[in-house]
Amino acid sequence: MKICAVYNKYINNIQEIIHILETGLKSSNAQYVISDSENLGKDFDFVFAIGGDGTILNVAKFYAPLNIPVMGVNLGRLGFLSQADLYMFSLILKDITEGKYKIEERIGLECNGHIALNDFVVKSCQSTRAAKFGLEINSAPVCEYISDGLIISTPTGSTAYCLSAGGPILAPTVEAFTIVPICPHTLTARPLVIPDNEILTIHSDDCPLSVAADGCDLKINSNKVTIKKSGCKIKLAFLNDNNFYNVLREKLFWGVSPCIN
């Protein structure tokens, strides 16, 4: 088994992190490479992404076309996509080399050749004001929004920006997307859940659109964009005891009663 451990080189205490990775990997029987997230190789059986959710998203998207599973190890704050923190790395590595893990295939989105695992966020290039956005699904007009923008989210991204904007939480295996308006200037604009085989077109006559994929701005100078399901799925690896609903409770305090003193 050939393993790659990828870390975000801009994080703090990088030498300590590399030492922990090397100590764990040397104790295993696997071949291994340790690299930063800007120098990714391709000939691996399994990849660890060491960092926050942003690092995990970028690494997972890189390896998606190569059909290589990626497991996140959290160094950030929430770490919703990660399995555990760095100090459990040796224990996690033992389970991986013994085949005690599962792979979840997550759907992604595509826009102008760019892939998003969480979401595409479409706004006006004049970010200081609301704009009018027209939405078409499969070339049929659906509605117009006067809002700060639209979030087109995968089930994986439903616990990210989509959730903060009032969208629904989708289980990762649901084959659907959500459309969530950002601060709509009407009481009737509600989030919409649609099948993942639909093709979305968003346009604005006010000014060119600003588009971000998983929080990274794209250079798309157009009044119209098309968003659809990506042709490849992202393989995320988790230990066998990982449960989506447990993660909701532990990290988002879902279903937890408020404390009353």
- pLDDT for 147-157, tens place per residue? 999 999 999 99
Longest dimension (CA), the chain: 60
Answer for the pair 71, 46: CB distance below 8 angstroms, yes or no. Answer: yes
Distance CA 134, CA 79 (A): 34
Catalytic member of 36, 43, 53, 217: 53
88 alpha-carbon distance from chain centroid: 23
Residue 135 tokens, joined: 């939405």
- Listed range (48-52, 87-91, 124-128, 204-208) with the worst mean pLDDT: 124-128
Domains assigned to the chain: 2-107+233-252 (3.40.50.10330), 109-229 (2.60.200.30)
Q: Does the annotation mark 85 as catalytic?
A: no
In the structure encoding, which two tokens stand for residue 54, read together? Answer: 């942003």
Measured between alpha carbons, how far is 7 from 22 in angstroms, rounded to an integer? 12
Q: Please tell me the pTM assigned to this model.
A: 0.90
Q: What is the pLDDT of residues 139-180, one digit of tens each?
A: 999 999 999 999 999 999 999 999 999 999 999 989 999 999
Query: Does pLDDT of 261 surpass 60?
Result: no
